[in-house]
Amino acid sequence: MKAKILPVLIALPVCLALISFKASAEGVEGAKTTANIIVQNAGSWTTLSNSVVVIPPGQTWHCIVTGSADGSNPAPANSFDHQYRFTLSVDSANPAVDGACERTLEFDNNFGVDDVSFEDVNSTCPFKNIGPGAHIFRWQARKFNANDLNLTVQDNSHTVMCSRNLQ
């Protein structure tokens, strides 16, 4: 009899926690693609993926966005280093560089040693106190310098999760 009651006693606190759990996510959105996207410009961002989140009138939401991408090494061995910027943004097709959500991808092909064929890059960024209306969340990339070779982003994805509560 004890063997039959023990699993129930172990599962009971978990069940009670799930029953009392209040879901806090108001919206989940995102996008993904396996299509190759070429990053050609150092002066403006290339949008890798975007999604629209609509916040109802009278509400303010707080969102967490994650982005991930695979970049192909564009350079042969013994070439110069090549760097690329990746960022997450909301409602801006051309955000400032060097922001807190920005990550750098670098291929270092010096010293006669080929770097890897591709690298992955990821970022996570909070966007707080977003008011009512339609908002565009973007996962973007650009060259670090004009002399960097064009980068092929092989695939990428981003996820947006929003809540009215900060807890």
Q: Write out 33-59 in H/E/C secondary structure.
A: ECCCEEECCCCCCEEEEEEEEEECCCC
Q: What is the pLDDT of residue 28?
A: 86
Task: Tell which CATH architecture fits domain 24-163.
Answer: Sandwich (2.60)
Q: Give the integer Cα–Cα distance in Å for 93 and 10.
A: 51
Q: What is the pLDDT of residue 86?
A: 96
pLDDT band at 114 (very low <50, low <70, confident <90, very high): low
Q: How far is CA 77 from CA 52, 80, 113, 146, in A?
A: 41, 9, 6, 20
Report DSSP state, residue 135.
E
CA atoms within 13 A on the CB side of 84: 29
pTM to 2 decimal places: 0.80
Q: Residue 151: enclosing H or E segment and its boundaries?
A: strand 151-163
The more confident residue out of 110 and 127 is 127
Residue 64 contacts residue 126 (beta carbons within 8 Å)? yes
Q: Where are the domains of the chain?
A: 24-163
What would the pLDDT profile of 141-155 be if each residue is shown by its tens digit? 999 999 999 999 999
| Coil vs helix vs strand at 102 | coil
Quote the percentage of the chain above a pLDDT of 90: 60
The more confident residue out of 2 and 50 is 50
